Amino acid sequence: MFHKEGFKIIIVTLGLVIALSILANIFVVNTTIRGGIIITLIILLLLVLQFFRNPKRNFLVHPDNVLSPVDGKVVVIEEVFEGEYFKDKRLQVSVFMSPINVHVTRYPVGGKVKYSKYHPGKYLVAWHPKSSEENERTTVVVNNENFGDVLHRQIAGAMAKRIVNYAEAGQDVNQADDSGFIKFGSRVDIFLPLDAKIKVTLNQKVKGGITVIAEK
């Protein structure tokens, strides 16, 4: 199963692979070179298919939990000052996604979307300390009955050139539903109340809609 954000790219890539394979068969006489070209094209197609996969999952939805919004590795757990929306201290948990991870972004909690804003910016590597403030990004805040306002921020990385955000202020959203998609690698930051009980550790691998990031 593939995510809708990948349909166009998959079709274009498939067309290019078929066309270039046909051309290689016609114009490349050396069988070794021709075979190498075709194998490279197939690998390219497989990588694109892998990137846009959207596997079916039994999400662990629970009102007392904050779920990981994405697949990846936990790279930050710290108390920080969040200056865009809260303008006070929050617990930040950041998940880095490599190009081989599923890149669907899911709502970590359910509730009503209070804030959704896109920010153009740079394309620093996603683990750069300033990427959360200087890179292209979207900030979404969902008001949840148990946790209050929970902010998650999609951040573009050096490879990510497009962030897709579905959240609109005023929407009622469900935990683990699609919040957006980041194309070709990045990270997502989550900002939680200081009394939230963090349930993950640094370098832990997490799955979107499955791994519990925090409890009340």
Handedness of CA 107, 168, 113, 117 (dihedral sign): positive
Say whether 131 is catalytic: no
* Catalytically annotated residue among 94, 131, 179, 186: 186
Residue 170 backbone zone (phi > 0: left; psi -120 to 50: alpha; other: beta)? left
SS (H, E, C) 6-67: HHHHHHHHHHHHHHHHHHHHHHCCCHHHHHHHHHHHHHHHHHHHHHCECCCCCCCCCCCEEE
Q: Tell me the two tokens of residue 147.
A: 């946790």
| Catalytic residue ranges | 186
